[in-house]
Amino acid sequence: MPQTRKLRTFILGQQLTDGIRVTLEIISPAIILSLMGQFQIGLTASLGALCISICDAPGPVTHKRNGMMVGIVFVFLMALITGLVNAHILLLGILILVASFFFTMISVYGSRAGSIGTAALLIMVLKMTNQQHGGDAFLQSLYILAGGVWYMIWALLFYRLLPYRAAQRVLGECVTETANYLFIKSRLYDTFFDIEVEYKKLLEQQIIVNEKQNEVREILFKSRIMLKESTDKGRALVLTFVTTVQLFEDIMATWYDYGQLRKNYGGTGILLGVSKVIQTLANELKKAGEAIHNNHAYTKDWDILPALNELKEKIDGLSDQGSTIMLKKILVNLRALGKKTDELQAYFNREVVLKRKLRSTQYYLRFVNPQRVSWVAFKNNFTFKSSVFRHALRMMITCGVGFIIGKFFTTGHHSYWIIMTIIIILKPGFSLTKKKNHDRLLGTIAGGVLGLIVLAFIKNEYFLFALLFLFMLGTYTFIRINYILMVLFVTPYVMILFHFLGIGAINVASERLLDTAIASLLAFLASYFLFPQWESGNIKESMSAVVKSNLNYLKKLKELAANNENVTPYNLARKDVMVTTANLSSALNRMLSEPKSKQLFKSEIYQYVVLNHILSSNIASLASLPQIKNNSFDDMQLKLIDNTERLLGQSYGLLHDVVPSRIEKIRRTGEFAKMENSSTNEQLKFIYKVSDDILQLTEKMVA
C-alpha cells in the first residue's frame, strides 16, 4: 500500500532519526544536570547544544566535524562578547551590526559556513537580555561551550556506530525521486494528461533529482570509508549511485515529439500501454529506493518482457498503416530502461558487488566541487556585484532597525525575537524571503493557537513535559524539510518551556506573534528596497551556463566517438548539463514568485529551459548510437555537428555581449538538406534545428 510504504519510509527516514537524535542531544544536558540540582546550568549547556545542532548539516563526517568545531569556537566567542557588552546599548548595537554583516558574509564559503554564521548570530540574540558581570559572562560561555562539545561528541559517536545509514537514506531518496521523474514522464504518453503541464512538472522534478544527486555525491565521494574496496557496503552504495545516474541519463535521453506521437498513434492504445509499462518500471524503481532507504531486502516481482512482447505485437500489427520506426525506437528504449532498473538489484546481492571494482578516489572527487576557505574569496566579494555582499548589508541594516524597534518601541521582554526572526527569514532573494515570511506567519499563528489550547486544558506537569519533548521532536524532524511545520511545532514548544519557567503563556504567544509580524514586515521591505536581488537581473548567467554546458556536452560526445575508451570527460559534461539545467529551472521558479513588474521574458525563459532540456536529452540519446562505439560519423555528419557547436557558441557569445554584427551567419544554408534519410541524420538535423531555435530566442531576448 503506497500510504503504508510512505509512513514506513518516514519512520525509518533520516529526518525522523535526526529529529530524535538532535532532540536527545539538546535536552539531555538540561535533564541530567536538573537531576543533580543544577537546572540553570543544564539549560545553558542545552543552549550551546542547540546552536551547534544548526552546524550539524548533512554531509561527510569530516565536514560535519570541522563545521561543528568551528561553530563551537564562534558560538563561545559570541556568547562571551555579548555577555560582556549587553548592558551597554550602544556597544550591543555595534555588535549586532558587525556580527550580522560578518556572519552573513561567511556564506561565501558555502551553506555549511552559512549555518555556522546562523548559529553564532542565534547565541548573540539569545544572550542579548541576559546581563552579567565579566566573571559570570565567562562562566556562562563555558557552559555553552560544554553543551556544544557534548552535542558534537554524541553526533560523531552516532556516525561511528552507523557509518552507512545516512548514505543509505540519501541514496534511497535519490532513487525514489528518480522514480518520480520517470512516473511524470509516463504521463507524456497518456493522452489524458496535458503535455505542457506535465513538462513543467518534469522540469521541477529534475531540480529535485539534481539536488538529491548532489547530496549523494557529497556524502559518498568525500567519505573515505565509502570508497574503500574492503567495505562491501560502501562499494555497493557507490556502484548503485553510478547506476542510478546512468539510469537517469537514459530516462532523459528518451525524448520525442509527444504531440506528434499522440497525433499519429493516440487512437491505437499503444501509447497508453507504453505509459503503463513506464509507470510499472517507476513503481519497481521506487520499491528499490525504499528498500535501500529502509535497509531491508528487495526482490523484483515484475518482469518487463511479457509487457514488451505484447507491445511489440501491437506495433507489428500497424505495419500496414505506415511507418512505425518511432514506436520501435520507444520499445528499444523501454527494454534498455528495464535492463538498467534490473541492475539496481546488484545492491542487494553481495556476490555481484564483490565482482565489481571501484575507480580511484581521485576519479570520484572530480564529480564534486571542493570548497576552499581563503581570504581572497572573502575579499573578492566586497563589491556590490556580489549577491552575498549585498545580502550582508541588507541583513546588517535590517537587524539594526529591528534592534532599535525592540529596544525603544516595544515593551515585551522578548523583543529580541524580532532580530531572531529577521536572521531566519531574510534570504538573499526576494522569492525565498517571501516564502519564509508566509510560512513563518502561518506557522506562528497555528502554533500559538495549539500552544494555548494545550496549556488551557492540560495541567499535569509530566504530561506537559512529554508534549514538550514531542514538540521538540517535531521541530528538529522538519527543520530542513518543511519550514511551516517546523514553526508550527516550535511555537508551542517555546510556550510550554516558558510556562515551566513561570512566564505567562498568553503574554508569550501575543508577544511572539507581534515580534514575528514586525520582523516579517522589516524583512519584506528590506528584500524589496535594500539592494534587491531580482532573478531577472541574474538569470542571464544561468542561461549562459546552460548553453555552455550543452555545447561542452556535444563536444565531449564527439570526442567520445573518437576515443570511446575515455568516458570520464563525457560523464563530467553530462553532470554539468544536469546541474546547470536544474539551476536555470530553479532561477525561473524564483523569478515567478517575484512581483509581476520584475518578471522579464518569463515565457521566453521558460521556452529557453525547454529547448535546452530537449537539446541535452537528444545529445544524450546520441551516446547509444553505433557511430559512437565505432567512430563512424561521416564527413557531412561531423560538419553538421561542428555547425551545431557554432550555433551554440553564438548563443553563448550573445549572452556575453558579443557584438551581433561580428557573428558569422551560418544558418539556413540548405547544405544539410541533401543528407540521406536515416535515423542518425534525422536526429543530428533535429539537434541542429533546436540549437538554431535557441540562437533565435537568444537574439530576441538580447535585442
pLDDT tens, 224-273? 766 665 677 878 888 888 889 888 888 887 777 888 888 888 888 888 98
Averaged pLDDT, 295-321: 79
* Predicted local confidence at residue 68, as pLDDT: 93
Gap between the Cα atoms of 508 and 452, Å rounded: 10
Q: Give the closest residue to 92 by CA, choosing from 408, 489, 529.
A: 408
Gap between the Cα atoms of 16 and 39, Å rounded: 28
More confident residue, 234 or 64: 64
Residue 154 has pLDDT above 50, yes or no: yes
**Confidence band for 634, pLDDT divided at 50, 70 and 90:** confident
**Confidence band for 185, pLDDT divided at 50, 70 and 90:** very high
Averaged pLDDT, 324-348: 83
Report the range of poorest mean pLDDT among 4-13, 17-26, 248-257, 511-520.
4-13
SS3 call for 223: coil
Q: Give the closest residue to 144 by CA, choosing from 41, 54, 25.
A: 41
CB atoms within 10 A of CB 136: 12
Q: Residues 614, 246: contact at Cβ < 8 Å?
A: no
Q: Give the closest residue to 115 by CA, choosing from 178, 58, 183, 158.
A: 58
- Centroid of chain to Cα 508: 35
Residue 475 has pLDDT above 80, yes or no: yes
**Confidence band for 394, pLDDT divided at 50, 70 and 90:** very high
Report the range of poorest mean pLDDT among 210-214, 390-394, 556-560.
556-560
Residue 189 grid coordinates: 504518453
Gap between the Cα atoms of 398 and 151, Å rounded: 31
SS3 call for 12: coil
Averaged pLDDT, 525-530: 88
pLDDT tens, 122-139? 899 888 877 666 678 899
Distances (CA, A) of 479 to 119, 159, 349, 388, 490: 14, 20, 35, 23, 10
Residue 626 grid coordinates: 553505433
Gap between the Cα atoms of 664 and 651, Å rounded: 12
Report the half-sphere exposure of 140 (CA within 13 A, side-chain side).
Answer: 23
Q: Residues 39, 33: contact at Cβ < 8 Å?
A: yes
Residue type, 467: L
Q: Is 134 exposed, middle or buried (0-12, 13-18, 19+ CB in 10 A)?
A: exposed
Where exactly are the structural domains of the chain?
Answer: 1-162, 168-365, 386-533, 537-702
CB atoms within 10 A of CB 534: 19
* Predicted local confidence at residue 362, as pLDDT: 73
Q: Give the closest residue to 378 by CA, choosing from 369, 370, 386, 367.
A: 386
Gap between the Cα atoms of 82 and 129, Å rounded: 9
* Predicted local confidence at residue 504, as pLDDT: 56
In eight-state DSSP terms, residue 566 is -
Q: Residues 154, 29: contact at Cβ < 8 Å?
A: no
Q: Is 524 exposed, middle or buried (0-12, 13-18, 19+ CB in 10 A)?
A: middle
Q: Residues 112, 57: contact at Cβ < 8 Å?
A: yes
pLDDT tens, 635-678? 788 888 888 888 998 888 888 766 544 445 544 455 666 666 66
Q: Residues 19, 473: contact at Cβ < 8 Å?
A: yes
Straight-line distance from the first to the last Cα atom of the chain, in angstroms, rounded to the nearest whole number:
54
* Predicted local confidence at residue 103, as pLDDT: 94
- Centroid of chain to Cα 352: 32
Classified by CATH at the fold level, domain 168-365 comes out as Methane Monooxygenase Hydroxylase; Chain G, domain 1 (1.20.58)
Report the range of poorest mean pLDDT among 352-366, 464-478, 527-541.
352-366
Report the range of poorest mean pLDDT among 281-295, 305-319, 688-702.
305-319
Averaged pLDDT, 59-72: 89
Q: How many residues are given for the chain?
A: 703
Q: Give the closest residue to 425 by CA, choosing from 416, 442, 415, 438.
A: 438
* Predicted local confidence at residue 52, as pLDDT: 93
The pair phi, psi for residue 617, each rounded to 5°, is: -65, -40
Q: Residues 439, 422: contact at Cβ < 8 Å?
A: no
* Predicted local confidence at residue 382, as pLDDT: 86
* Predicted local confidence at residue 662, as pLDDT: 41
Report the range of poorest mean pLDDT among 93-102, 290-299, 575-584.
290-299
Gap between the Cα atoms of 608 and 507, Å rounded: 53
Gap between the Cα atoms of 253 and 261, Å rounded: 16
**Whole-angstrom Cα Rg for the chain:** 28
Gap between the Cα atoms of 459 and 325, Å rounded: 74
Residue 425 has pLDDT above 80, yes or no: yes
Gap between the Cα atoms of 461 and 446, Å rounded: 23
Q: Is 184 exposed, middle or buried (0-12, 13-18, 19+ CB in 10 A)?
A: buried
Residue 603 has pLDDT above 70, yes or no: yes
**Confidence band for 414, pLDDT divided at 50, 70 and 90:** low
Gap between the Cα atoms of 624 and 410, Å rounded: 67
* Predicted local confidence at residue 229, as pLDDT: 56
Q: Give the closest residue to 164 by CA, choosing from 213, 223, 218.
A: 223
- Rama region for 295: left / alpha / beta (φ>0; ψ in -120 to 50; rest): left
pLDDT tens, 358-388? 777 777 777 777 767 778 888 888 888 888 8
Q: Give the closest residue to 124 by CA, choosing from 154, 148, 159, 97.
A: 97
- Centroid of chain to Cα 142: 36
Residue type, 528: Y
pLDDT tens, 563-589? 766 778 888 888 898 889 888 888 888
Q: Residues 179, 209: contact at Cβ < 8 Å?
A: no
pTM: 0.84
In eight-state DSSP terms, residue 231 is -
Q: What is the sign, positive or negative, of the torsion defined by CA atoms of 504, 506, 507, 511?
A: positive
| pLDDT, mean over the chain | 83
